[in-house]
Amino acid sequence: ELKVEQNPLFLSMQEGKNYTIYCNYSTTSDRLYWYRQDPGKSLESLFVLLSNGAVKQEGRLMASLDTKARLSTLHITAAVHDLSATYFCAVDFTGTYKYIFGTGTRLKVLA
Amino acid sequence: SQTIHQWPATLVQPVGSPLSLECTVEGTSNPNLYWYRQAAGRGLQLLFYSVGIGQISSEVPQNLSASRPQDRQFILSSKKLLLSDSGFYLCACPLGRLLDSPLHFGNGTRLTVT
């Protein structure tokens, strides 16, 4: 079964703190994506991770991929209120046309 | 770059009524197309995907169906809506033609079944 799991589901953190969101997936894939969704809006692509050891950074967000462990992380550094949103990882499973999404992590950054 | 048009933006329909949601794509040809549903406060559920005209793969058949009558048109339908069909419906296609392209999403249709 093609499964993608994220944790935590909810995350409330203070401004200035660091935290990591985890994304695990069930079977072989070399392509993993991170998205952001603001309340009531569609999804916006953040990162594309294409190989084992890939690391991408944009501002206070850094994403990494370990294909052997089937794990990706999204690390938040010195959080600010503007990062409050729901973050999804998605996996494009090898040999299929399917993009399967994780459950999402709802992040709330408190001032 | 691709643009995905979805309409309507919001829709309120009674239980048992039919449904037709349309998605059209500009800026590319023969894209793979996807329909997802997001229930309130939940993740994205893949409903259907299509790799070409007339080709539909169903992930969650239930009472929904999809059709692709033209290269850049993808339609989601139901003959009789259920309360559980309420949600945010998103159409998507890969941003580029390479296998490693992320999905690009339309603005979605928020459906409330009453």
**Domain containing residue A104:** 4-110
Q: How many domains does chain A have?
A: 1
**Topology of the domain covering B3-113:** Immunoglobulin-like (2.60.40)
Phi–psi pair at B82, nearest 5 degrees:
-110, 160
Task: Inspect the interface and report whether the beta carbons of A42 and B95 lie closer than 8 Å.
Answer: no
| Eight-class DSSP state of B98 | S
Please check whether residue A55 is in contact with residue A62, taking contact to mean a CB–CB distance below 8 angstroms: yes
Chain B residues touching residue A54 (CB < 8 angstroms): none
Q: Is the dihedral of CA B43, B16, B8, B110 positive or negative?
A: negative
Q: Which residues of B touch A50 (CB under 8 A)?
A: 100
Contact A88 B44 (CB under 8 A): yes
Find all residues with CB under 8 Å of A51, minimum gap 6, and list them: A30, A65, A67
**Where along chain B do its domains lie?**
3-113
Tell me, what's the pLDDT at B1? 76
Question: Tell me: the pLDDT tens digits for B34-86?
Answer: 999 999 888 999 999 999 999 999 998 689 999 999 999 999 999 999 999 99
Per the prediction, chain B carries an average pLDDT of 93
